[in-house]
Amino acid sequence: MALPREYLGQSCSIARALEVVGERWSLLIVRDAFFGLRRFSDFSAHLQIPRAVLTERLEFLVGEGVLGRTPGPGRRFEYELTDKGLELWPVVRTLSQWGDAHYAPDGRRRVFVHAGCGGEPDPLGGCPVCGETVVPAAMVMVPGPGMATGPDADPISVALSLPRPLLEPVT
């Protein structure tokens, strides 16, 4: 039996936020949207998530205003972060940093640097090199020492293992 999405009886902002991004796969979809994934097929290939689950999560994130759906090639849709979704960057960045510190024995897989000066902004975007507040669109994701892709890696994983600006669509 599936657990309910709602935290009934909880009068807490964290509980409300978890109702939106706390389900399995939801935050990974948001992460991949920051990495530049836009197409259903790319999310499916990279996350190896069941199609029915991906459909439900994308629809829910669109309904909550975290992702927007835009016309793509042919009759397909693409998904991109809304302003509300972009506000999740500090959460995604901090979780990544925490995971790197505690669960990445070979080192960080990805390093996020300021495209303007090469500094590594803190999770809230403060750049220690130039002092600017850096938004995700001004960051580049570069491979860290823990990045490894095997010979059977999917094309999306290969594209995400190369230096690339955040939010730039993966093609």
Determine the average pLDDT of the residues in 83-112: 94
> Per-residue pLDDT tens for 1-52?
565 667 667 788 998 998 899 999 999 999 999 999 999 999 999 999 999 9
Query: What percent of the chain lies above the pLDDT cut of 70?
Result: 96
Q: To the nearest whole percent, how much of the chain has pLDDT over 90?
A: 80
Checking if the pLDDT of 125 tops 90, the result is yes
* Tokens, residue 86: 């972009």
Judged against a pLDDT cut of 70, whether residue 159 lies above it is answered with yes
Residue 9 backbone zone (phi > 0: left; psi -120 to 50: alpha; other: beta): left
Mean pLDDT of the chain: 92
What average pLDDT does the segment 99-112 reach?
Answer: 93
61 and 29 Cβ atoms separated by less than 8 Å: yes
Domains identified in the chain and CATH numbers: 13-85 (1.10.10.10), 88-165 (no CATH)
Give Cα 15 to chain centroid, integer Å. Answer: 20
- Across the range 65-69, mean pLDDT stands at 98
Distance (Å, whole) CA 63 – CA 38: 16
What mean pLDDT do residues 52-57 have? 97
Q: State yes or no: pLDDT of 118 exceeds 90.
A: yes
